[in-house]
Amino acid sequence: MPAMTNDHLPRTNDEFRAFVASVEAHPGYQRPVAFAVGIASYAIGDWDHPGTVVPGAKVLDTWYPVVNREENYGAAAVLAHVTGHLSGSGTVSLTLEMLDRALACFACFAGDGKRHANIEAIQMARDVLAAPVSPDPLAVPRAPVVSFVGALEDAPADASGVYLRLHLLSARKVQPHGQNLAGIFGLLNNVVWTDIGPYDPDTFDRVSMRARSHGRALRVSGVDKFPRMTDYVIPSGVRIADADRVRLGAHLASGTTVMHEGFCNFNAGTLGVSMVEGRISAGVVVGDGSDVGGGSSIMGTLSGGGKEVIRIG
């Protein structure tokens, strides 16, 4: 798409709508079914400057403060315009120039008294990118990205795209089995989850030695490809007694309570009011008004050979 000069920045709401229409009329452009601006964390690649993102580094996680599904197409058009993304699924690393151009496109909304979550996310991304690299010897490299989903039927294209799909589930934008999650285990990297950030297991011994040499002890909560949901998404109207028991990608409807021995995996969960005192394995769906009793366990799709889907209620 052609770059937009300052002379053509939308100055009014009408001009913004006209700008969005011009982007959407571009040959080959297709509205994404979902998109989000987020912050990706990477494996340390430069041990002299650990907070610096090294090209080709493993993506350890991606956090999206707001996710969009079939909504906010104006913001999608702006992000597509500044990144050159036309259609399909994929993730683009954001530069300061891209972020500044995006914020300039939204200038007409400044001071209108309304909250614009996507604009806030873009501003947050700019703040992260513009901040000086942390001198902390344990700093986790971070950088802003934007991920697009062309169609829910398409498989994810990259690790950040997988995280967007998991956020969509936990934010209740997509129900379990409502999107294609094929290949996600191959796209996700194994991660050491600590109280100060994610790290690459292959080099965690160096991280641990650095921490100890500075009088710091890291608390490791797990070594896995999936993090805790509550570190990324807090759905409204739920109670979770032990955050370690709910993975990112769990779908918990309002009115759900997950007790201490309850568990909910990704691409699984509840569709209404439910008391969960047992295990909801991957792929399992519990209907409104149904409970999972203490200590019970429901076989998941992964254990069932990848094809058997169990629903209760």
Q: What is the DSSP letter of 88?
A: S
CA atoms of 28 and 24, how far apart (whole Å): 9
**From CA 155, how far away is CA 215, in angstroms rounded?**
44
Length, in residues, of the chain:
313
Mark residue 66 as left, alpha or beta (left: phi above 0; alpha: psi -120 to 50; beta: remaining): beta
Which residues have CB under 8 Å from 194's CB, separation 6+?
A: 218, 219, 220, 221
What's the CA gap between 10 and 7, in Å, rounded? 9
DSSP bridge pairs for 276: 258, 292
Task: Check if 261 is active-site.
Answer: no
Write the DSSP assignment of 281-307 as a string of letters: -TT-EE-TT--B-TT-EE--TTTTTTT
Closest CA to 90 of 172, 34, 22: 34
Residue 143 bridge partners (DSSP): 40
Beta pairing partners, 292: 276
Catalytic residue among 15, 261, 277, 308: 277
Positive or negative, the CA dihedral 169, 172, 173, 175 is positive
239 closest CA partner among 280, 274, 287: 274
Residue pair 129/144 in contact by the 8 Å Cβ criterion: yes
Give catalytic residues, as residue numbers: 277
